[in-house]
Structure 1
């Protein structure tokens, strides 16, 4: 019987970028967001996912294009499961690449692209970054790929006008996100409601409308995303210290939430990502 399998690796070329290969059959990614840009390609089977309230299916030949802080989920489209390659990279990498190409990147209009050439280029790029053997070859493949994805020309991505930091959120929602992101201590709806001037009930309703998540769900995911980065980069800190640093009361809660989100434990992730 096919089992859930996932392998993580850190890119040598792209600081802070995460590569993964996974085989999913029953694992259900509940509604969540990412702090980084996520690109993915299914190489066997298909994934069903909801993005901003609309249902989609990601199949071979299509590239998943998810901007930061966009609520979505994911599950196998059939009992056969699916295999997928994912590249997660911080926004500043794409800003730098866009500057090199002379274009302005403000996010993706759609959560996937149907483009067989782009799909094959992504798979080749993922393999090169995964092996991490020749930076010159990797950089060339990287720029060629993003030239097609976000560059000028008939095959390029139609860029939105949102811009970095202009996500379409209201001032109150941006303030609530900033308060939750910067506070290691528990944040209450009363505090968020008072700070934004909305009150706790209107704040909760508006936050769900804008993000697709409750404030607690959004904050939990942000803490898990940032904890992953700490596991990637921090050699000296214990798992307990990292758990506390990112707002988890103890290692048990950190392990449980991490495994539910990423199908692996923090310790296993750290070993894999530094291999």
Structure 2
């Protein structure tokens, strides 16, 4: 039995498809968006630009917009896929190309690189369930697609320039003042007078961490100070931006190896 589910995300430029195709076969068609399909089970075959291709579990297919293709299962048991539908201009902007007037192009349409595949499967699941903080939601698409751009883009990317010390100091001051709030990527990038994608690239070039990983660590550092001052765990959780005691305790233990209640 064929099952197909469509999901919107917090980013209107990204939509998701989760499908198990048993009998359904796609006739010749095209998409207005980039479709990046992750084959998580079974095998698929499709015709594209006059050639038949085969793709199996652990591989991904990059289908550019406006390219005519079809698709069907190679096996009676069908195939399972997770698909990103991505607005072309947005994806190009995310890639930070040296020539931004061009749409991004890729060297090949089938990719079999385990770390890229696994990171995109995780990204698909995370965007679908939407169970991470606001800043992580904003940052994760760039993090998820960055290796695909680096290794398989046909067009050169702009170099990442490390942020200066003053920018980091400004960001730290802002985040500490708003540590209990759902911080947005746009807010941080505006402080540095950069686009959101430029900010992510330049921040990571300086700090070696994503902005949301840096914020998570800052929250943990602040929570440790508050616990040592004798403030209760529930109140500390709220003060550093957690709205659930259980999630705070889990994050704290993952960071320090002990529960908040053990801090004196």
User: Shorter-normalised TM-score: what interval?
Assistant: 0.5 to 0.7
Among candidates 125, 129, 132, match of residue 130 of structure 2: 132
Corresponding position of 2:59: 62
Which 5+ residue runs of structure 2 have no aligned equivalent?
157-264
Q: CA separation of 1:75/1:131 partners in 2, compared to 1, >3 Å: closer, same or farther?
A: same
Within 5 A, what are the aligned runs for 1:192-211? none
Q: CA separation of 1:144/1:17 partners in 2, compared to 1, >3 Å: closer, same or farther?
A: closer
Corresponding position of 1:157: 152
CA contact (8 A) 1:63 1:118 kept: no
Corresponding position of 1:206: none
Corresponding position of 2:84: 87
CA contact (8 A) 2:105 2:153 kept: no
Among candidates 23, 26, 29, match of residue 29 of structure 1: 26
Corresponding position of 2:113: 115
- In 2, Cα distance between the equivalents of 1:115 and 1:141? 19
The runs of 4+ residues in structure 1 deviating greater than 6 Å are none
Corresponding position of 2:48: 51
- In 2, Cα distance between the equivalents of 1:33 and 1:159? 21
RMSD: 1.9
Larger radius of gyration: 2
**What whole-Å deviation, never above 9, does each CA across 1:235-262 have from its counterpart, x for those lacking one?**
xxxxxxxxxxxxxxxxxxxxxxxxxxxx
CA contact (8 A) 2:116 2:147 kept: yes
SS at match of 1:129: helix
